[in-house]
Structure 1
């Protein structure tokens, strides 16, 4: 792996951020392309920032190096910021919907993008065994300290689903994972391969007004996270072998005091 010129990278990235903040998006885009040339693995997420400005192609997902770096940096304050400051309560909503639909208890839960264990904590008493996966080593360490999961792995979720030999599971959760994934087929096919027939897949998405998608199924929103059109989500579920149980409109979080709209989706793998 080519050694990165950290000083040059920091200068280019800081210059790009300043130009973006000033509104000079054309100049910012040039600087972000310098960043990508210096750091092809894209630890700083230049590709998603370009896409958010409409000056770069929409990637299929956020770069692994960017996601790992982002969450490693925020692991210590993650729950304080996400729950207390941004009003994130999706794991509680997952529990409420499962109870309202009389779903569970479960034998073995797979928590994709488990983070510090917020979803695991919300569902711990509803499942016999829990496995957690996260790309951030620091997040997995924080989850480990809570002693919620029988097994924890540091891995990219689709890679894990491709290689996993621990399943099958009867429920898979992915809360606050899709904002870092654009194209859903790899995730959904992987989930289908790791679920019992009739098993549940539960995930949250962020979304935008339908007109903002310009006919696309997903795009990078103004906060550098992927948004998904509801129709795209339901189409991809059907194409990958899932029946929709319900899709609920939710507020995912607050961003600068404004609600971020999204969906909480529960789907069931069709028996073969």
Structure 2
């Protein structure tokens, strides 16, 4: 899913860019590339046009080198990578660093916030928050309660609603200000913060939370070990960290899939938990959502401090 394009500042260029997007959607890669080239003739520094040329060229295996060149041009114009050029480069095997930038996630979800819940729940059968709630009840019984809760990657507040009745003071963190605006409307959060969850955890006092949750968040992170380490520091004794991850058939490592999301190996997950000083209280296969009519395999995990 490409990040939304900002205006070039030139009305005619914007119109041709829209035609280029339409041509690519209809399968006419050559027309899309030609139109995007016309955009760049008028506005040479318009990164989205370079990204579109890369996407058009990538449709032809013979043009992969040219596609990579276009994606690198887009990245040079947008070093924070709100456009997601690194993700496209990773799909071409051109980069080993984190393919999904915080700026890309922010741009993606800012444009997605208004329809996020309907698409995710109704369209993709997303059930991460419900899975986490049920897992916590299985571990702690029907009278469970967590006084201090951290919702990592809180989005619009789906997880907060799933925790109603068992969560006291709830703090949420998300990269997208528009998603946070939706979360604020729930009235369920004592605190909401905009930023990266790793920075957020690093600023939280030690032993200050009884529960941390992350529903469908690690699909955007290649390395989850640092997050587990910070979560262990922030959790009080006996505290829990409950989350879902997308899985792949292998035992180890993170794999960037065709869906542009990271899937994690279960052995790597266990090792990261052990390194962080967290014990596995529950780890089981789970279908975290549906995509193209098929279940997406993953893992439901609850780790204990």
| Both structures adopt the same fold (TM-score exceeding 0.5) | yes
Query: Shift in Å at residue 177 of structure 1?
Result: 0.9
- 1:66-124: per-residue Cα shift (whole Å, max 9, x none)? 11111111000000111110110110111111112225211111000000011110002
CA contact (8 A) 2:207 2:233 kept: no
Structure 1 unaligned segments of length 5 or more: list them.
none
Task: Tell me the distance in 2 between the aligned counterparts of 1:26 and 1:206.
Answer: 30
Kindly report which structure 2 residues correspond to 1:31-110, keeping only aligned pairs within 5 A, or say none: 31-59=70-98, 62-102=100-140, 104-110=144-150
Query: Shift in Å at residue 223 of structure 1?
Result: 1.0
Partner of 2:174: 134
**Larger Rg: 1 or 2?**
2
Taking only aligned residues, the RMSD between alpha carbons, in angstroms, comes to 2.0
Tell me the TM-score normalised to structure 2 length: 0.81
Q: 1:81 to 1:25 in 2, by over 3 A?
A: farther
Partner of 1:152: 192
Q: 1:26 to 1:253 in 2, by over 3 A?
A: farther
Relative contact order (C-alpha < 8 Å, sep 6+): which is higher?
Answer: 1
Partner of 2:216: 176
List structure 1 segments (4+ residues) > 6 angstroms apart after TM superposition: none
Partner of 2:299: 263
Structure 2 unaligned segments of length 5 or more: list them.
1-5, 9-42
Q: How many residues align?
A: 261
Partner of 1:225: 261
Other structure's SS at 1:125 match? coil
Partner of 1:13: 51
Task: Tell me the distance in 1 between the aligned counterparts of 2:139 and 2:220.
Answer: 28
Task: Tell me the distance in 1 between the aligned counterparts of 2:243 and 2:64.
Answer: 33
CA contact (8 A) 1:62 1:180 kept: yes
Tell me the TM-score normalised to structure 1 length: 0.90
Q: 1:102 to 1:198 in 2, by over 3 A?
A: closer
Partner of 2:285: 249
Task: Tell me the distance in 2 between the aligned counterparts of 1:223 and 1:51.
Answer: 12
